Structure 1
Amino acid sequence: MKRKGRAWLLSLVLLASGFLIAYSYQQTKTGPEMVQLNDSQWKKEYYYQQQLLNMEERNKQLREELKQKRMDIQSHESNLATSEQTVSDLVTRKNRLQQLVGELPIEGQGVEIALSDSAYIPDQEQVNQYIVHESHIHAVINELLSSGAKAIAINGQRYFSDSYIACTGPVITLDGIQHPAPFVITAIGDQDVLYSSLGLTMGVVDRLKADNIEVSLSKEENILMDAKLSTEG
């Protein structure tokens, strides 16, 4: 009786073991199919990820190129603006030089000093001691130039470094053009400096008055001087 029980138990164990072995074999057989499916999906996912990474890297490169292009454009614009400013500065400087040499009219603030012959001449034989001479004109011009005058005119005619002044009786000749008294000398520059320089104690104005010359001095807010007179034709 005991042997039959043991045989039955052994059969049951063998049956259960066989079932487990068969189930394990089936699982082992079907396992590779599941791994192959997952591997294919992983390959696809990996492929798409690589594509995405490549696109992101390309986008990064394009952003860097765009940034560099913008910097290049800004640099060109800056250089262009600098070039335009340089040209503008050169034109302004050229015009300024043309004004100073008399090729163009010039305008600005300054001073005006008028010299007249003495209204009272006690002795007609000494008349030359009571009229304006070229030395008086030169004294005024030299003082104006030393005080920084940018342009000078006598009775509206421009005076230049190569101009010549001659006294012919009661008239003054400037570069071949005669001017009668009174002689109005205008100068463009810092009006305060020019005015103060002329009006110094024992300065030009005082010396002119000591030579019996009638003098008037004033500041002018706007003085216009024409261009140099042409000697051609």
Structure 2
Amino acid sequence: MSVALVCAVVGFLLASQLQSVWANTQTDAANASRLETLQELYNQEMDKSEGLQKQLEQTQEELALYRKQASEGSAQGEALKAELDKLEMTAGLVDVTGPGVTVIMTDSTAVNATGDEADYIIHDSDLLSVVNELRSAGAEAISLNGERLLAASEIRCTGAVVTVNGRRHAAPYVIMAIGDSGTLYNALTMRNGVVDILGQWKIDVRVTASEELTIPKYQGAVEFQYAKPAESFPAAEEGVG
């Protein structure tokens, strides 16, 4: 009986050990497969990033060539160069400088025991409120934490940070805008304006007017997969009779 009992215990322990080894093997295999998948996704994103960087460099070289050709021409070439400069600034492809305001936004530290902590931190909607107010007041160029904002730029919460132009940023958030500094400043700090509203949640918003700011150009590549220039057709001739 003793031998049989010992054999049963040993058999049970061996079975448990084999089961544990098999489970660990399955887990390691799953982790290895997941790691391989993540590595492939990472390599794909790196290849895509490198491709976009090369495309951006090529586009910049072409723009430099067009600029040089336009500057070497006649009065018509000078007009084309001026138009090119305007389009580059509109598209955010060049650094710009001028008067404007700097807005520094910091999360509140005044969360009380009964309050919801989420109400006291900066969200994408708060940043959009400031950006939209600046645009409405005539801002000609805006950046957020060094990211040039274009028409296609996104500002959205991703966890505890905010994603802008595909890059993640955390507070404090620094918004710079070029335009009439007095108009921009008054638009943000007016009574019951966006600064007053954010101040109700003790979110620190500091607005400073400056005579000269520099906003960097957009660092990514602008691609259009679906949109294309619309064809223009001559107006149809009116029929007679």
Task: Give TM-score scaled by structure 2 length.
Answer: 0.58
* 1:216 correspondence with 2:206: yes
Partner of 2:124: 134
Q: Which amino acid aligns with 2:98?
A: G
Instruction: Look up the SS of the partner of 1:167 in the other structure.
Output: strand
**Runs of 5+ in structure 2 lacking a partner?**
1-72, 223-241
Q: Is the CA contact (8 Å cut-off) linking 2:109 and 2:202 kept in structure 1?
A: no
Whole-Å Cα distance in 1 between the matches of residues 186 and 115 of structure 2?
Answer: 36
Shift of 1:107: 1.1
Letter in 1 for 2:153: S
Q: How does 1:173-184 map to 2 (within 5 A)?
A: 173-184=163-174
**1:125 CA drift (Å):** 6.6
Specify the code of the residue in structure 1 equivalent to 2:187: S
Match of 1:143 in 2: 133
Cα deviation, 1:204-227, whole Å, max 9, x if unaligned, reads: 111111133111000022211221
Counterpart contact for 2:147–2:165, Cα < 8 Å: no
Deviation (angstroms), 1:201: 0.5
Instruction: Please point out which of 175, 178, 199 is paired with 1:185.
Output: 175
**What is the alpha-carbon distance in structure 2 between the residues aligned to residue 87 and residue 101 of structure 1?**
21
Identify the residue that residue 112 of structure 1 maps to in structure 2.
Answer: 102
CA distances 1:64-83 after superposition (whole Å, capped 9, x unpaired): xxxxxxxxxxxxxxxxxxx9
Structure with the higher fraction of residues in helix conformation: 1
State the match for 2:194 in structure 1.
204
Q: CA deviation at 1:170?
A: 2.6
Letter in 2 for 1:204: V
Cα deviation code 1:19-73 (max 9, x no counterpart)? xxxxxxxxxxxxxxxxxxxxxxxxxxxxxxxxxxxxxxxxxxxxxxxxxxxxxxx
CA deviation map 1:134-181 (0-9, x unaligned): 000010011011111001000111011111111123311112101110
Report the count of equivalent residues: 150
User: What is the alpha-carbon distance in structure 2 between the residues aligned to residue 104 and residue 178 of structure 1?
Assistant: 22
SS in 2 for 1:192: helix
Q: Is the 8 A contact 1:131 1:212 kept in 2?
A: no
Q: Which runs of 5+ in 1 are unaligned?
A: 1-82
Cα deviation, residue 93, structure 1: 2.6
TM-score in terms of structure 1 length: 0.60
Decide whether the 8 Å contact of 1:131 with 1:170 is kept in 2: no
**Which letter maps to 1:141?**
V
The 1:199/1:86 distance shift into structure 2, 3 A limit, reads farther
Q: Percent identity?
A: 35
Provide the alpha-carbon RMSD of the alignment: 1.9
